[in-house]
Amino acid sequence: MTQKTFGYIRVSSKDQNESRQIANMTKEGIAERDLFIDKQSGKNFDRPSYITLKQMVRPGDTVVFDSITRMGRNMKDTLKEYDWFVDNGIKLRFIKEPMINTSEDQDDILKEAIQKIVLTLLTAFAEKEREDIRERQAEGIKGAKKAGKHLGRPKMSYDTLTKEQKNTLETNYPKWKSSEITGVQFAELLQLKKNTFYKIIKEYETKQKQQTLSMV
Question: pLDDT, tens digit, for every residue of 79-93?
Answer: 999 999 999 999 999
pLDDT at 52: 96
**What's residue 153's pLDDT?**
59
Q: What pLDDT score does 149 carry? A: 63
Average pLDDT, the chain: 87
Query: Which position among 12, 41, 49, 67 bears the catalytic label?
Result: 12
Spans of all domains in the chain: 5-132, 158-215
The answer to whether domain 5-132 has CATH 3.40.50.1390 is: yes
The whole-number pLDDT of residue 16 equals 80
- pLDDT number for residue 67: 94
Share of the chain above pLDDT 70, in %: 86
The pLDDT of residue 145 is above 70: no
Number of H helices, E strands in the chain: 8, 4
Q: Do 6 and 63 form a contact (C-beta atoms < 8 A)?
A: yes
Is pLDDT of 12 > 80?
yes
CB 114: neighbour CB atoms within 10 A?
A: 13
Q: Give the model's pLDDT for residue 89.
A: 94
pLDDT of residue 58 exceeding 80: yes
Would you place residue 133 in the very low, low, confident or very high pLDDT band (cuts 50, 70, 90)? confident
Strands ordered across the beta sheet of 35-39: 35-39, 5-11, 62-65, 91-94
pLDDT band at 77 (very low <50, low <70, confident <90, very high): very high
Pairing of strands 62-65, 5-11: parallel
Residue 35's SS3 state is: strand
User: Residue 86 in 3-state DSSP?
Assistant: helix
* Dist CA 162 CA 164 (whole Å): 5
Query: What is residue 209's predicted lDDT score, i.e. its pLDDT?
Result: 85
User: What's the average model confidence in pLDDT over 116-133?
Assistant: 83
Q: What pLDDT was estimated at residue 48? A: 95
Mean pLDDT, range 170-185, rounded to an integer: 91
Burial class of residue 123 in the structure, from the number of CB atoms within 10 Å of its CB (0-12 exposed, 13-18 middle, 19+ buried): buried
Confidence of residue 1 (pLDDT cuts 50, 70, 90): low
Q: Reply yes or no on whether 12 is catalytic.
A: yes
Question: Is 14 a residue whose pLDDT tops 90?
Answer: no
pLDDT at 51: 96
What would the mean pLDDT of 162-182 be, rounded to a whole number?
91
pLDDT at 214 over 70: no
The predicted structure's pLDDT at residue 91: 95
Structure pTM? 0.60
Cα 198 from Cα 203, distance rounded (Å): 9
